[in-house]
Amino acid sequence: MANIECSAGKAYLKKTMSAEGQVTGIMGLGGEKTKGSFAVSFTKPVILDITERMLGETVTTIDETVIDMVGELTNMSAGGAVAQLSQKGYDLNMGTPVVVSGESHHIDHSSKGPIIVVPFTTDAGDFFVEISFVTKD
């Protein structure tokens, strides 16, 4: 939709709650047997570029338009992840995305499981997808 090329980097386990980007969308995911969350954290140059490409208007700051865009992108990305996970037997419901912005903000995943991060690189910079799940007892 944004007509942007991105390359996935090597996934890693995250050790802190600090966000990698300046604006992050996070969404809780839950099912009968699992609980988790999904987050997308964008560096400022990337989200400004994506917003400009998708809306056709120049943006220079992380404002309400950009915040709304992050919420929509989080919703679309999590929906794609849930669809793929459902093919593997996971029955998950999606929550409503919450967007947090600012330098050095924290991402509070709803589960206390390990946090897996997949970094992505674009011509405008980087963004990061995080997912964390636990099995309910």
What is the average pLDDT value for the chain, to the nearest integer? 91
Query: Are 107 and 42 a contacting pair, CB within 8 Å?
Result: no
Q: State if pTM tops 0.85.
A: yes
DSSP 18: B
The partner residues of 35 in beta bridges, in order of sequence, read: 30, 134
Angle at the Cα of 36 from the Cα atoms of 20 and 125, rounded to 5 degrees: 20
E strand segments, 7-122: 7-8, 12-14, 23-30, 34-42, 93-94, 98-101, 115-122
Instruction: For residues 4 and 24, give the distance between their C-alpha atoms in angstroms, rounded to a whole number.
Output: 19
Instruction: For residues 58 and 71, give the distance between their C-alpha atoms in angstroms, rounded to a whole number.
Output: 19
Residue 137 pLDDT grade (very low, low, confident, very high; cuts 50, 70, 90): low
- Predicted confidence at residue 130, as pLDDT, reads 94
- Predicted confidence at residue 98, as pLDDT, reads 95
Range 52-75 average pLDDT: 94
Residue 6 pLDDT grade (very low, low, confident, very high; cuts 50, 70, 90): very high
Residues 81-107 pLDDT 10s: 888 888 888 788 899 999 999 888 989
CATH of segment(s) 7-135: 3.40.1550.10
Instruction: For residues 113 and 110, give the distance between their C-alpha atoms in angstroms, rounded to a whole number.
Output: 9
Where along the chain do its domains lie?
7-135
